[in-house]
């Protein structure tokens, strides 16, 4: 009798579980079908002013990421850990890279979000609400470093981690706007605008650094960008409602304006972190992922540019850089590079629509290799500035065309944010491997004449640049395995 009852209860439990699974499956299938219906609607051409407004967030993102990596973090690493600044900076970059693991989750949630304001904008707004307080926390930690003692770097690292996670969530949602709103024939143009806006933001941040060399003021600049650019993007990205039926609309009316309902499955979320090298529809995207990883591993040598100039650059009078000159010089050099990137990004995007993506990416990789070789031999500061413009143009070309190629290789446009988030994880791997390797190279190659200022030897920087060039060569070599879905993107 007891065993019979147990069996009866067990069968009922399994039956309920099967019913729940069937219900969840039906709900997810229904949501997928609704998304497909929305995505099959023809997309009208987007005007250039609206493209610029949609990409206002990338103006802010370019300013944050570029000046964080090139100016802010190297300075803060030296302030917190003067005897191990290269290792501390490497740790910052590992955190920045690891934060991009939030991308696939953000893409999964964004793709399935149901809200009257669309799939992307609610997530962008929520990310901004997290970034603001974290910027304040970082400012307090670095301003009151003496009063907080050992707590100062801990608080800074924690706030920086949260900031990077939130920024990557916003970035993932924002990248989904292009395939959602922009027609395929405008892909190259729209990505050229995106890259140009990122470069323009980086230029703005470097100009700000040159005018206001005190790094602490950059946190006010970051906050100003947050409250200005995010609303512009949300206004210009006039998404269609992602609600599926009247029940959704009633639920949405009862909730907060930015509170989105999401069809959720743990299994699907886990699959959001997986990309297959053998599945026909994913194979090209997998190899593009590999190429992007190799590129970002090599390009991450630029993180140590401030230290390179501090330890090896020579002014016209034969003297080196002292005091605040390294960060001001790297800001000026980065500004020149970003101008080159901004001027090159949009034409490269248009050119890639006609000639194909891969040839331009190969040119960019070869260009970066030549820059690294020049940095090993050229130490005159004036000549380095000219090299910086060329370097920026090559990097701008890659950033513009790489994103367009990623869209061409998407396994599914209806889950665009998910796949672009996985594509973004490639930079996590690259910006984790690269700075970790480069920081150890520099740490174990100290300057023989160390005085009050610590640094690395020329041999150490040569080894770092050669390693970066090798990663770039591998990126160009593996690119032939990428076969875009679009015939025009050869």
pLDDT tens-digit series, residues 437-469: 998 899 888 877 655 556 788 999 999 999 999
Q: Contact at 8 Å (CB) between 472 and 298?
A: yes
Q: Which residue has the higher pLDDT, 134 or 19?
A: 134
Residue 442 placed within a domain: yes
Q: What is the pLDDT of residue 449?
A: 66
Question: Can you tell me the mean pLDDT for 122-126?
Answer: 88
Residue 287 placed within a domain: yes
Q: For residue 356, is it left (φ>0), alpha (ψ between -120 and 50) or beta?
A: left
Q: Contact at 8 Å (CB) between 226 and 354?
A: no
Residue 3 placed within a domain: no
Q: What is the pLDDT of residue 446?
A: 82
Question: Can you tell me the mean pLDDT for 361-380?
Answer: 95
261-262 and 113-114 strand pairing: antiparallel
Residue 133 is encoded by which pair of tokens? 């307080």
Residue 262 placed within a domain: no
CA distance 230 to 328: 28
Residue 235 placed within a domain: yes
Q: For residue 322, is it left (φ>0), alpha (ψ between -120 and 50) or beta?
A: beta
Residue 14 placed within a domain: no
Angle at 169 between CA 302 and CA 144, to 5 degrees: 65
User: pLDDT tens digits for 269-290?
Assistant: 777 677 888 888 889 999 999 9
Which of 92-101, 187-196, 268-277 reaches the highest mean pLDDT?
Answer: 92-101
Question: Can you tell me the mean pLDDT for 43-48?
Answer: 79
User: pLDDT tens digits for 181-191?
Assistant: 888 777 777 87
What is the model's pTM?
0.66
Residue 131 is encoded by which pair of tokens? 């970034």
Q: Which residue has the higher pLDDT, 470 or 451?
A: 470
Q: Which residue has the higher pLDDT, 390 or 241?
A: 390
Residue 399 placed within a domain: yes
Q: How confident is the model at residue 376 (pLDDT cuts 50, 70, 90)?
A: very high
Share of the chain above pLDDT 90, in %: 27
Show the domain range for 365: 46-254+269-481
Question: Can you tell me the mean pLDDT for 407-432?
Answer: 79
Q: How confident is the model at residue 202 (pLDDT cuts 50, 70, 90)?
A: confident
Closest CA to 328 of 16, 39, 70: 70
Cα–Cα distances in angstroms (integers) from residue 120 to residues 42, 96, 169, 227, in the given order:
19, 22, 10, 18
Q: What is the pLDDT of residue 35?
A: 47
Q: Which residue has the higher pLDDT, 284 or 19?
A: 284
CA distance 449 to 107: 50
Three-class HEC string of the chain: CHHHHHHHHHHHHHHHHHHHHHHHHHHHHHHHHHHHHHHCCCCCCCCHHHHHHHCHHHHHHHHHHHHHHHHHHHHHHHHHCCCCHHHHHHHHHHHHHHHHHHHHHHHHHHHHEECCCCCCHHHHHHHHHHHHHHHHHHHHHHHCHHHHCCHHHHHHHHHHHHHHHHHHHHHHHHHCHHHHHCCHHHHHHHHHHHHHHHHHHHHHHHHHHHHCCCHHHHHHHHHHHHHHHHHHHHHHCCCCCCCCCHHHHHHHHHCCCCCCEECCCHHHHHHCCCCCCCCCCCHHHHHHHHHHHHHHHHHHHHHHHHHHHHHHCECCCCCCCCCCHHHHHHHHHHHHHHHHHHHHHHHHHHHHHHHCCHHHHHHHHHHHHHHHHHHHHCCEHHHHHHHHHHHHHHHHHHHHHHHHHHHHCCCCCCCHHHHHHHHHHHHHHHHHHHHHHHHHHHHCCECCCCCCCCCECHHHHHHHHHHHHHHHHHHHHHHHHCCCCCCCCC
Q: Which of 4-18, 297-311, 335-349 has the lowest mean pLDDT?
A: 4-18
Q: Which of 26-35, 69-78, 418-427 has the lowest mean pLDDT?
A: 26-35
Q: How many domains does the chain have?
A: 1
- pLDDT of residue 12 exceeding 80, the answer is no
Q: What Rg value do the Cα atoms of the chain yield, rounded?
A: 24
Question: Can you tell me the mean pLDDT for 67-78?
Answer: 86
- pLDDT of residue 24 exceeding 70, the answer is no
Q: 330: domain CATH number?
A: 1.20.1250.20
Q: Quote the mean pLDDT of the chain.
A: 80
Q: How confident is the model at residue 258 (pLDDT cuts 50, 70, 90)?
A: very low
For 253, residues 6+ apart whose C-beta sits below 8 A from its C-beta are: none
- pLDDT of residue 39 exceeding 60, the answer is no
Query: What are residue 380's DSSP bridge partners?
Result: 314
For 200, residues 6+ apart whose C-beta sits below 8 A from its C-beta are: 59, 62, 338, 342
Residue 260 placed within a domain: no
Owner of token pair 């009208």:
44
């Amino acid at each position: 009798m007891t065993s019979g009852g147990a069996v009866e209860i067990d069968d009922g439990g399994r039956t309920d579980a099967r019913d729940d699974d069937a219900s969840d499956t039906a709900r997810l299938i229904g949501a997928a079908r609704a998304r497909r219906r929305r995505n099959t609607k023809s997309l009208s051409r987007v005007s250039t002013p609206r493209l610029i407004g949609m990409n206002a967030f990338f103006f802010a993102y370019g300013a944050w990421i570029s000046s964080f990596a090139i100016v802010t973090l190297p300075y803060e690493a030296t302030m917190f850990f003067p005897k191990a600044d290269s290792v501390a900076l490497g740790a910052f970059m590992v955190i920045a890279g690891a934060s991009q693991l939030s991308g696939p989750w953000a893409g999964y949630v964004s793709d399935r979000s149901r809200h009257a304001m669309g799939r992307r904008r609610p997530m962008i707004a929520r990310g901004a609400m997290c970034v603001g307080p974290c910027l304040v926390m970082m400012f307090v930690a670095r301003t009151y470093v003496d009063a907080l003692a050992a707590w100062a770097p801990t608080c800074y690292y924690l706030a920086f981690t949260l900031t990077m996670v939130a920024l990557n969530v916003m970035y993932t949602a924002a990248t989904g706007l292009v395939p959602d709103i922009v027609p395929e024939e405008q892909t190259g143009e729209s990505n050229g605008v995106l890259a140009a806006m990122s470069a323009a933001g980086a230029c703005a941040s470097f100009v700000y650094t040159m005018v206001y060399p005190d790094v602490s003021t950059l946190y006010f600049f970051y906050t100003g960008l947050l409250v200005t650019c995010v609303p512009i993007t949300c206004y210009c990205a006039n998404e269609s409602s992602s609600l599926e039926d009247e029940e959704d609309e009633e639920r949405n009316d009862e909730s907060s304006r930015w509170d989105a309902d999401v069809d959720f499955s743990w299994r699907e979320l886990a699959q959001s972190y997986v990309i297959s090298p053998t599945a026909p529809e994913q194979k090209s995207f997998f190899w593009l992922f590999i190429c992007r990883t190799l590129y970002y591993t090599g390009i991450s040598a630029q993180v140590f540019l401030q230290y390179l100039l501090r330890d090896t650059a020579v002014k016209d009078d034969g003297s080196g850089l002292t005091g605040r000159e390294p960060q001001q010089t790297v800001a000026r050099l980065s500004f020149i590079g970003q101008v080159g990137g901004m001027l090159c990004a949009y034409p490269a995007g248009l050119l890639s629509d006609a000639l194909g993506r891969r040839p331009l990416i190969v040119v960019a990789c070869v260009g970066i290799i030549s820059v690294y070789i020049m940095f090993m031999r050229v130490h005159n500061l004036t000549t380095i500035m000219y090299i910086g413009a060329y370097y920026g143009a090559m990097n701008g070309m890659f950033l513009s065309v790489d994103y367009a190629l990623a869209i061409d290789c998407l396994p599914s446009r209806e889950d665009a944010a998910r796949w672009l988030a996985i594509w973004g994880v490639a930079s996590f791997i690259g910006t984790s491997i690269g700075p970790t390797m480069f920081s150890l190279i520099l740490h174990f190659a100290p300057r023989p004449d160390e005085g009050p200022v610590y640094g690395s030897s020329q041999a150490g920087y040569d080894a770092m640049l050669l390693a970066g060039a090798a990663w770039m060569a591998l990126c160009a070599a593996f690119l032939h395995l990428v076969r875009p879905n679009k015939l025009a993107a050869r």
